[in-house]
Chain A
Amino acid sequence: MDILSIIFIVAGLFFLIVAAIGVIRLPDMYSRSHAVSLTDSLGAFLMLVGIALHEGLSINMLKILVVLVLLYILNPVIAHATVRAALRSGLKPLEKENS
């Protein structure tokens, strides 16, 4: 069980690192917000599942699962609010035409 939780946490860390690299490499604010949403959808998910497995069957595991559900409900709200605020304040998205 410990090995399984270590695998989950390391996989989560991998996606968090990829998201951080994405925030640095991607060109404009709109595409960077995609990288940030990657943190929540897989990075935090895998880390929390790893921690829940480490806790075993207890009330703490249930609490972690509640955090997970709240994260999945709140993440799109925050991402949408940030991006819409950027668009309404007049930030032009970068349109790159290379296929």
Chain B
Amino acid sequence: MATRSRPVSSEFLFFKAMALFVFWVLLSASFEWIHLGLGLFFSFIVAWLNSGHSPFVPKFRLWLRILLYLPWLFYKIIQSSLHLSKLILHPALPIVPHMISVESKLRHHAAVVLLGNSITLTPGTITVEVDGSNLIVHAMDKNDEAAIKQMESKIAHIFKDEEPDL
């Protein structure tokens, strides 16, 4: 994916520098003026150096929807972790390893990334290969495919109002 060049507003530069500065304060954990000043200075330097080629533009509606999606994903992760632990500890080892080819209808790069990451984060399924919007998934259990379909429809709902770019 080529990085696109686009003019970045000074407002966005400021947001980026503030995010970096919060990270600096978290890591340094010191509130002396010399440390805070140095952190602020380097936050702006790094934000300015990176401003030329960032295709990343904040869209608050999209991020809100992704934030609302995360608790559901976390619930799924816990559920399938327990299921996989049960499979591993079962004396007969009742696993069915197989490859699933998922042809998703997602039309955004970010949506495919989110789907692939969600699949890999859920124990029992791993994204093996990505090509466009099609994914090859390695799964451990018979009914993993239904879970992936459900995940895909949730993500399609998140991205339904955005411009397609894939």
Contacts and interface: CB of A to CB of B under 8 A. Distances in A.
B121 A33 contact: no
B147 interface: no
Contact of A18 (B89, B94, B127, B138): B89
Contact of B127 (A31, A80, A97): A80
B15 to A, nearest CB: 18
Interface in A7-40: 15, 18-19, 21-22, 25-28, 30-31, 33-35, 37-38
Contacts of B85: 15, 18, 38
Contacts of A77: 117
A30 B81 contact: no
B126 A79 contact: yes
B97 A87 contact: no
Interface in A54-99: 59, 62-63, 66, 72, 75-77, 79-80, 83-84, 87, 93-99
Given A15-B85, A22-B88, A96 B95 contact: yes
Contacts of B97: 27-28, 30-31, 93-96
Q: Which 5 A-B pairs have the closest CB atoms?
A: A76-B120, A22-B88, A59-B29, A42-B81, A76-B117
Interface of B: 23, 26-27, 29, 77-78, 81, 84-85, 88-89, 93-99, 116-117, 120-129, 136, 138, 140, 142
